Structure 1
């Protein structure tokens, strides 16, 4: 039995608890687009989460950027190590802040994901980022930075390859089209059948047909769901929500989509794109729901256009998807069309 004092205390605090997420959410800022990348520009490589374990991989990244006509510079604390983190929080945040303030740096690319970006959010200089907008690109744990900087600085950020990505033709082509050519491009999965009678790889699954327009917002499902209720997420109303993940069994995806549902995120969006959930099927769990079951459970009742299978996630061939940019999705065709350039 609860005491009368406990019940009264709960009753008094309940309105405050209900109001906190809404009060904490920042008011939307006018969108700032970063300048596009040009030959000769310098990309700052930094490690906001996991350490840079392989110097050979770093050299491959530098040479890949050079092959694009760009220069690369490593952050001062690039090779730091503090357990599973790439150095202390203050030093990792200082690297990010310094790159935004440095006029000789034109874009910032995370070397790795892992874990640790959310620890930096209270330490970032969002006012500086708004004054000196630059391309910020990465995926996975970098989702925390992409969402927070979009919300707190009003900057269009880029969900795309990290330094340790596979710099193949597919990934580089989309990066170039979005960040260098400034195309209002149409993202569409490959349709190559190989030597099979019908396409078996990179297929699109339509959950709810139709066309929707809105600001692209999203990223890694695990990271995004853990930021809900903080001041570091944007306004979801009318957005096109895109999601991806890796090594999460269906029950984990279920749990995180439940969080987005209970927090009211899913009920606000105009459409949903679920990219790739790599290695997310259950292994030997009797009677488990499949990933397809889970997505259908949460996305079909929304009655907004939704599809899965887009080239977004922990995959070799990936799109570069800008956050905060207006886009149109066709859930029947499985396409995402930018309605404006992502860069200035």
Structure 2
């Protein structure tokens, strides 16, 4: 069965950097995001790895793993939010004692999805794919991003509904900051390969495909063993592409397929991506069509997930119902054991 953590404001938020830390010139972003959360009633515990960054990582792998485990085992800390993602989180996995992972929320995306997916697959503890700390530094959060708090405060057995955003951010404009961090200028449109209404149900798993694909064939990507936690219920994948070319995305999806990751799969959702530039006329839409036909499953794409914000908070391990129709969509996540 899946175990769900529960967020209360009595617990502190631990900030640690199991992937990239924050260089000195950006430390004010951490302080600002922390102060915003403190105004909401949370207390903040900042780890040492947050403040350092060298050679594409916050600290050596063993140091990052030790600080993460310390926060996971602290009775004071009820939620861990890393500052952001990075590149080399996978280095820490072999130094984490998964037998000592507590049912405690971890929230993040990008490179953090390696840790999130590994924990859920190995332990059956739900993890949260959504906003990072730095993106909570605004005067307020947009409606989609702000849902992270109510999602993580839900109880086991409850269900929580989230809707597609009305607008998304096409590109960053750091020189002209927005009160809610993002510049939501483009109309959101959820699309389906079938070009008709789609409804999919299943246990959610996913993350940034650039990095979670590297769990394939390792002890941290054992989908067959994970089935014991969900009694062989179908899996509904959500995936987002940060930097892969369309051909690399295709290779990655085929690797997942050949490794058995799409066995007992009820559907796939793909997040918006700025990386979906065609290669020799080969488009992301071509890929979505092909994977839908090969697996005989529905595919929904351009959803609110990943590096083109805002993003819905997806819970790895939760049972979900998703619908998409006429450019709009919604997801109901049930905290089903």
How does the TM-score come out when normalised to structure 2? Answer: 0.83
- Which of the numbers 149, 164, 168 marks the counterpart of 1:189? 164
Q: Does 1:250 align with 2:246?
A: yes
Q: Give the SS at the match of 2:308.
A: coil
Q: Which of 147, 166, 170 is residue 174 of structure 1 equivalent to? A: 147
Which sits farther off after the overlay, 71-80 or 221-230? 71-80
Measure, in 2, the Cα distance between the counterparts of 1:259 and 1:185.
33
- State the shift of 1:315 in Å: 2.5
Q: Secondary structure at the match of 1:278?
A: coil
Structure number with bigger Rg:
1
| Alpha-carbon distance in structure 2 between the residues aligned to 1:299 and 1:186 | 26
* Aligned equivalent of 1:33: 4
1:181 deviates by 4.8
Q: Helix, strand or coil for the counterpart of 2:135?
A: coil
Q: Deviation of residue 331 (structure 1)?
A: 4.4
Aligned residue for 1:261? Answer: 257
Shift of 1:341: 6.9
8 Å CA contact 1:206–1:334 kept in 2: the answer is no
Root-mean-square deviation (Å): 2.3
1:280 paired to 2:252: no
Between the two proteins, the alignment pairs up a number of residues equal to: 302
Say whether 1:335 aligns with 2:305: no
Structure 2 Cα separation of the partners of residues 312 and 192 of structure 1: 13
- Secondary structure of the corresponding residue to residue 246 of structure 1: coil
From the superposition, tell whether residues 211 and 172 of structure 1 become closer, same or farther in structure 2 (CA, over 3 Å): closer
* Equivalence for 1:142: 112
Runs (5+) with no aligned partner, structure 1 = 1-29, 194-198
Instruction: Report whether the alignment pairs 1:111 with 2:86.
Output: no
Structure 2 unaligned residues grouped into runs of 5+: 169-184, 225-231
Cα distance per residue 1:112-150 (max 9 Å; x no partner): 211121111111121111xx3111111010111001111
CA contact (8 A) 2:145 2:313 kept: no
1:1-344 correspondence to structure 2 within 5 Å: 30-35=1-6, 37-53=7-23, 54-129=26-101, 132-166=102-136, 167=138, 168-182=141-155, 184-191=159-166, 201-208=187-194, 210-235=198-223, 238-282=234-278, 287-332=280-325, 334-340=329-335
Say whether the 8 Å CA contact 2:243–2:275 is kept in structure 1.
Answer: yes
- CA 146–192 in structure 1, closer or farther in 2 if over 3 Å, else same: closer
Q: What is the aligned partner in structure 2 of residue 8 from structure 1?
A: none
Moved more, 66-75 or 138-147: 66-75
What SS does structure 2 have at the residue aligned with 1:162?
A: coil
Deviations 1:249-268 (A, max 9, x none): 21221121121122222343
Check whether the contact 1:150–1:234 (CA below 8 A) recurs between aligned residues.
Answer: no
TM-aligned CA deviation for residue 334 of structure 1: 3.4
| Separation in structure 1 between the aligned mates of residue 49 and residue 209 of structure 2, nearest angstrom | 28
Deviation at 1:66, TM superposition (A): 1.3
Q: Distance in 2 between matches of 1:178 and 1:170?
A: 13
SS of equivalent residue, structure 1 residue 270? strand
Shift of 1:42: 0.7
More moved, 44-53 vs 205-214:
205-214
